[in-house]
Structure 1
Amino acid sequence: MTWSRRFLPSITVLRALEASARLQSFTAAAAELNLTQSAVSRQIRSLEELLGGDLFVRERHTVRLTQAGEVYAQEVREALGRISTATLGFRANPSGGTLNLAILPTFGTRWLAPRLPDFVAEHPGITINLVTRLAPFDFRMEQIDAAVHFGQPEWMGAELDFLMSETVVPACSRKLRELHGFEAPADLLKAPLLHLVSRPDAWKQWFAAMQTSVDQVPGMLVDQFAMAAQAAMSGLGIALLPRFLIEQELARGDLVEALNGPVQSADSYYLAWPSGRGDYPPLQSFRQWIGAAASAF
């Protein structure tokens, strides 16, 4: 792709716009940038002349963005953010590349993190930065190259690779199971059920898969798998958890299956990335590696 220089304002001018838009003041922007107010005002005016329209409405001692100015300023802020992130990534790893990856907390700590040393060993030039995200987001608003997604293969503005499905089991403490002596799926209603906020219909789907009709499935709400697992281990109730994420607890006996009732989830795990960014070399390497790791799991 080529760009015409006449449509590429200088970084100095764009920084003046970003600061003025964020602070809604030429004077405040000038103080932040160590410039004079008149210098910032001239830079904004020169940019408006290049664009052929006003970015700000000037009202005596205040300024505010026009509607078109708000859109343009947001796009400039995102572009400056990407330039800054790219520069930091290069400084951190001049010989390779950087991959900013969003992960689901428990999936990241239980499944991905133990396997990442293999990726690093295979690709020593790539630096991975991890952040947690619980739900899909707008890639245009985040400096993130890819994300692990659980759900349906749907993410606006993104492309996805299938990673793996999961099997969930009703898990609780051994003491709770001995107390209630669960024998049939309906028996689980004798104990409190722990509901994940991100999967509000999981218990209903489990009972349906077990061919058990229930009117209501009341219980306690928790927002993360780690909390649900800990609550179940403490005897607070029964949690519906992916078996592969609680293998250690099951092996130690901290958790037991309330009864034999494995069910495959309707949703699956995917790797998502912004449309059009699939050829980014660090992402290509990570896609190949995680795909192979997931298929072998």
Structure 2
Amino acid sequence: MRGRLLPSLNALRTFEAVARHNSFTRAAEELNVTQSAASRLVRSLEDYLQVPLFTRQSRRIELTDEGRFYNALVRDSLDLIEAGTVELISSKDGKGTLSIGMLPTFGTRWLLPRLASFQEAHPEISLNIISSDGELDFTKERIDVAIRFGHGNWQDAIVDPLMAEEILVVCSPVLMDGPHPITSYESLRHHRLIRHSTRPNGWEHWFRSVGANRDHLRWGPSLEHFFMIIQAAIAGLGVALLPSFLVEDEIRNGTLVTPFPVRIAGPGGYYLVTSAAKSELPRVKLFRRWILDQIARS
């Protein structure tokens, strides 16, 4: 059986440090070796690969095209090895830190109020909560699990549906007491509609679902997170379209009202997305079991 075609790990570490610092001197200081030793290791790597990784001019060095290509591979590979090493050390005896990538408003309104029960049941597990709603990359974000809105099509992951989304229109009671109370779909044209910047088609989906006319709409601010939209609606900046479970308290205490009884299904749902590579870690299995039990209870 053929062995792996791999250069010296020490040479790879040195090359990555030199490329990161763009300096043999600073790389040597980081690695606690002499500058000449760092230079020899990079030279040995270039000899092994039979391609130049740096151009050397006087006291300046610069990655070649081959060097930039190889540096990206080496850097990502060392990051992965480092993360796995930390993972094993921190996971000893089932302990460690559980890193959760969390949608900001979902986390604040639904998850955080419930997490005390998980922490009480598993005091040996530390929690690291990261605001995360962009493209999902477990390695880059260094997270174990994530809560995402979508359609369940994440690659290299175990995906558990948490809940569907029910959408309703809300506004400040001040708007209802003003010169143009919202008593029909057509009366929305007198008010600004607050938009969610990451769901630009939300209002179009609502108008289409209820069969209302979309002519002569007035657009209000476009905001990135639901908690911003909630506050904007309370402040009377316009009419908002929000998942019902996120505004239960505001509707109950009267800071927001619902002009229409209709509630429509949202264009996606909330999912627990677990890194396939980490799915068997004890802390991950415990959290997954816990959150699915919370969903079943609610």
Q: Normalising by the residue count of structure 1, what TM-score does the alignment of the two structures yield? A: 0.87
Identity of aligned residues (%): 34
Query: What's the CA shift string for 1:210-241, capped at 9, x where partnerless?
Result: 11131464332111111111111011111111
Q: CA RMSD in A?
A: 2.6
The count of aligned residue pairs is: 290
Which aligned pairs between 1:17-32 and structure 2 lie closer than 5 A?
17-32=15-30
Contact 1:55 1:68 in 2 (8 A): no
| Matches of 1:9 and 1:273, distance apart in 2 | 34
* Residue of structure 2 equivalent to 1:175: 174
**68-77 or 192-201: bigger deviation:** 68-77
SS state of the match for residue 214, structure 2? coil
Counterpart code for 2:202: A
* Residue of structure 2 equivalent to 1:58: 55
* Residue of structure 1 equivalent to 2:165: 166
Counterpart code for 1:58: T
| Matches of 2:158 and 2:30, distance apart in 1 | 39
- Work out whether 1:274 is the aligned partner of 2:275: yes
Which aligned pairs between 1:92-103 and structure 2 lie closer than 5 A?
96-103=95-102
Counterpart code for 1:198: T
**In the TM superposition, what is the alpha-carbon distance from 1:55 to its structure 2 partner?**
6.9
- In structure 2, relative to structure 1, the CA distance for the partners of 1:292 and 1:131 (3 Å cut) is same
Which aligned pairs between 1:59-98 and structure 2 lie closer than 5 A?
59-60=56-57, 61-64=60-63, 66=66, 67-83=68-84, 85-86=86-87, 89=90, 96-98=95-97
Gaps of 5+ in 2: none
Contact 1:58 1:64 in 2 (8 A): yes
**In the TM superposition, what is the alpha-carbon distance from 1:46 to its structure 2 partner?**
4.3
* Residue of structure 2 equivalent to 1:127: 126
Gaps of 5+ in 1: none
Contact 1:185 1:210 in 2 (8 A): no
SS state of the match for residue 257, structure 1? coil
SS state of the match for residue 260, structure 1? coil
**In the TM superposition, what is the alpha-carbon distance from 1:53 to its structure 2 partner?**
4.6
| Matches of 1:106 and 1:206, distance apart in 2 | 21
* Residue of structure 2 equivalent to 1:250: 251
**In the TM superposition, what is the alpha-carbon distance from 1:134 to its structure 2 partner?**
1.8
**121-130 or 70-79: bigger deviation:** 70-79
| Matches of 2:284 and 2:7, distance apart in 1 | 28
Q: Normalising by the residue count of structure 2, what TM-score does the alignment of the two structures yield? A: 0.86
Contact 1:101 1:147 in 2 (8 A): yes
* Residue of structure 1 equivalent to 2:198: 198
